[in-house]
Amino acid sequence: QKEVEQNSGPLSVPEGAIASLNCTYSDRGSQSFFWYRQYSGKSPELIMFIYSNGDKEDGRFTAQLNKASQYVSLLIRDSQPSDSATYLCAVNTGTASKLTFGTGTRLQVTL
């Protein structure tokens, strides 16, 4: 069973702080890694994706990938109350293949 593991949280951070969300995966054949944000009752919304080892930055978001450790993370700088949501880590093993999701980490940004 190929798994994607996330701490379910909640992760509570004060407004303006950095939120760090982590994800590990079991399938060494995983090639692409995605972070989706999901508000309660809503659909997953793509935040970032990363394919290569290292960091990828997009605005306040940075995705980090370490394939040797089978670890991917998402950093959110200057966290805002509107960032409060569940963050889903998803991986796939190649072109057009299915996404395997983790259970998600609930982030709470407090005033």
Partner 1 sequence: EPEVTQTPSHQVTQMGQEVILRCVPISNHLYFYWYRQILGQKVEFLVSFYNNEISEKSEIFDDQFSVERPDGSNFTLKIRSTKLEDSAMYFCASSVEIISNQPQHFGDGTRLSIL
- Write out the residues near partner 1 by the rule CB under 8 A: 31-32, 34, 36, 42-46, 49, 51, 88, 90, 92, 94-104
Tell me whether residue 79 or residue 92 sits nearer to partner 1 (CB atom): 92
**C-alpha span between 24 and 89 (Å, rounded):** 9
Smallest gap, in angstroms, from Cβ of residue 16 to partner 1? 29
Smallest gap, in angstroms, from Cβ of residue 67 to partner 1? 14
CA atoms within 13 A on the CB side of 41: 0
Tell me whether residue 25 or residue 34 sits nearer to partner 1 (CB atom): 34
Degrees, nearest 5: CA angle 8-62-35: 45
Backbone angles phi, psi at 94, to 5 degrees: 165, -175
Tell me whether residue 35 or residue 79 sits nearer to partner 1 (CB atom): 35
Smallest gap, in angstroms, from Cβ of residue 46 to partner 1? 5
Tell me whether residue 83 or residue 104 sits nearer to partner 1 (CB atom): 104
54, exposed or middle or buried, with CB in 10 Å at 0-12, 13-18, 19+?
exposed
